[in-house]
């Protein structure tokens, strides 16, 4: 009875916006009744967003190269340098894909790729400036700390110099890519050549100081313990605390583009096909959903929580809307990395909006900074562009409907 009372006290405190400790988060994750855990997380969502709006985004993930020297064990997308299956897209192909994305209603592109041994800061300066010159209104929410560490090493410059240069070239926002698992043991097990979790967070902290906001992610299901899952969100919460203390985070949505910090947290599940990771077990949907709810309670300094229907399925995505989630992310006009490892879930604009309506919420198209571009108050206002749906190959979208 004492344990149950303690759990109820933690849930009540978290639901009211009070801070919970890592040990308390672990107890909730392992022992809290699912219904009570979900209700507390949803109370956080309702307090933050009483209008009942759930957002979505239209974007395209454009991979500029699959050549990579990092050789992460969970990755099915990369090819080693000099591999016959390695490729890099020319600039005109990247621009063509950006143009397609805009025609389909995208407001953002994620330019991501492998750690190519020849791509230093200069490559990314040219990439971002060329895209911005051609499409000045297209937001470049791209790369992650791992790419930034790599490019600074290749060019022999500091992290701060690399960030200032690529920001000046047109980078608007940093993706949470490369986080995977931040604690040392699981990170070394799945990505022994990648920078440490502490280094990943250090790069994010520098970016936040320089006025670049970002997202944070976590990959579940590669053999990490429950304690390590909680430690991951403890680490990102601490960095966000620093951003808040320094005035880099502003909850006023109309000014958030002027400051740094993490905008949202996006947990997702490892996909086990076509890679070299051995002895791992995929996280179950229940594990994922419980973690989503705990994350909403624990990350009291994060504005948004996004569900990853791409890796867990639309049913789980719909359920997550009752567990504190306020954003369903994008249908992804193009996605090649996670799908290479076996992600089979697809969606279209109508299905994504239906998931939101089925949860008795109001759908709204957003931009990168979570500003509402179109709120669909009634079903009559829902967009109906049938071209907007998931693609997982690198072929052209508009020319291959």
The average confidence (pLDDT) of the chain is 88
Counting beta carbons within 10 angstroms of the beta carbon of residue 46, is it exposed (0 to 12), middle (13 to 18) or buried (19 or more)?
Answer: middle
Instruction: Provide the residue ranges of all domains of the chain, joining segments of one domain with +.
Output: 51-381
Burial 48-71 (b: 16+ CB within 10 A, else e): bbeeebbbbbbbbbbbbbbbbebb
Closest CA to 315 of 354, 281, 270, 287: 354
At 272, the pLDDT band (50, 70, 90 cuts) reads low
The pLDDT value recorded for residue 292 is: 98
Query: SS3 for 140?
Result: strand
DSSP class of 284: P
What is the arithmetic mean of pLDDT over 389-395? 48
348 pLDDT exceeds 80? Answer: no
Question: CA 143: distance to chain centroid?
Answer: 11
Binned at pLDDT 50, 70 and 90, residue 294 comes out as: very high
Say yes or no: domain 51-381 is CATH 3.20.20.70: yes
Mean pLDDT across 310-317? 84
> What mean pLDDT do residues 66-88 have?
86
Cα separation, 41 vs 39, whole angstroms: 5
**Structure tokens of 332?**
């992804």
Separation between Cα atoms, residue 120 and residue 122, nearest integer Å: 5
DSSP label at residue 303: S
In angstroms, the CA 44 to CA 297 distance is 7
**188/191 Cα distance (integer angstroms):** 5
Q: How far apart are the first and last CA of the chain?
A: 59
Cα separation, 70 vs 73, whole angstroms = 9
Q: 14-44 as b/e, with b when 16 or more CB fall inside 10 Å?
A: bbeeeebeeebbbbbbeebeeebbbbbbbbb
pLDDT at 331: 78
Residue 31 contacts residue 5 (beta carbons within 8 Å): no
Task: Give residues with Cβ within 8 angstroms of 137, minimum separation 6.
Answer: 107
* Two structure tokens written together for 318: 């719909």
- Stretch among 166-170, 340-344, 358-362 having the lowest mean pLDDT: 340-344
For residue 13, give every residue at least 6 positions away whose Cβ sits within 8 Å of its Cβ, in sequence order, or none: 19, 20
pLDDT of residue 389: 54
362-366 and 372-375 as β-strands: parallel, antiparallel, unpaired? antiparallel
Residues written for the chain: 401
């Amino acid at each position: 009875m004492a344990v149950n009372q303690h759990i109820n006290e933690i849930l009540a405190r978290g639901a009211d916006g009070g801070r919970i400790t890592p040990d308390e988060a672990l107890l909730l994750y392992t022992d809290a009744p699912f219904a009570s855990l979900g209700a507390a997380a949803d109370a956080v969502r309702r307090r933050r967003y009483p209008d009942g709006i759930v957002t979505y985004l239209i974007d395209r993930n454009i991979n500029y190269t699959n050549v990579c020297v990092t050789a992460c064990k969970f990755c099915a997308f990369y090819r080693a340098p000099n591999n016959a299956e390695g490729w890099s897209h020319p600039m005109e192909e990247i621009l063509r894909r950006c143009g397609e994305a805009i025609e389909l209603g995208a407001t953002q592109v994620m330019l991501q790729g492998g750690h190519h041994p020849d791509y230093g800061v200069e490559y990314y300066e040219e990439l971002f400036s060329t895209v911005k010159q051609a499409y000045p209104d297209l937001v470049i929410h791209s790369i992650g700390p791992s790419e930034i560490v790599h490019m600074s090493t290749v060019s022999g410059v500091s992290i701060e110099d690399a960030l200032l240069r690529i920001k000046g070239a047109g980078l608007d926002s940093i993706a949470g890519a490369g986080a995977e698992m931040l604690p040392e043991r699981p990170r070394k097990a799945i990505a022994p050549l990648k920078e440490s979790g502490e280094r990943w967070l250090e790069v994010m902290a520098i970016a936040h100081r320089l006025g670049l906001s970002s997202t944070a992610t976590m990959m579940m299901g590669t053999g990490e313990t429950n304690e390590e899952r909680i430690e991951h969100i403890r680490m990102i919460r601490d960095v966000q605390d620093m951003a808040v203390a320094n005035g880099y985070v502003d909850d006023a949505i109309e000014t958030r583009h002027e400051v740094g910090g993490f905008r949202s947290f996006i947990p997702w599940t490892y996909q086990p096909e076509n890679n070299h990771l051995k002895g791992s077990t995929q996280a179950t949907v229940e594990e994922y959903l419980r973690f989503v709810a705990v994350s909403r309670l624990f990350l009291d300094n994060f504005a948004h929580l996004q569900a990853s229907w791409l890796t867990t399925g639309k049913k789980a995505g719909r359920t997550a809307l009752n567990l504190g989630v306020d954003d369903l992310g994008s249908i992804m006009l193009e996605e090649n990395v996670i799908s290479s490892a076996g992600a089979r879930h697809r969606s279209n604009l109508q299905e994504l909006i239906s998931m939101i309506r089925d949860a008795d919420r109001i759908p709204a198209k957003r931009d990168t900074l979570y500003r509402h571009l179109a709120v669909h108050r009634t079903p009559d206002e829902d967009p109906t562009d049938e071209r907007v749906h998931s693609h997982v190959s690198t072929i052209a979208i508009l020319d291959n409907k």
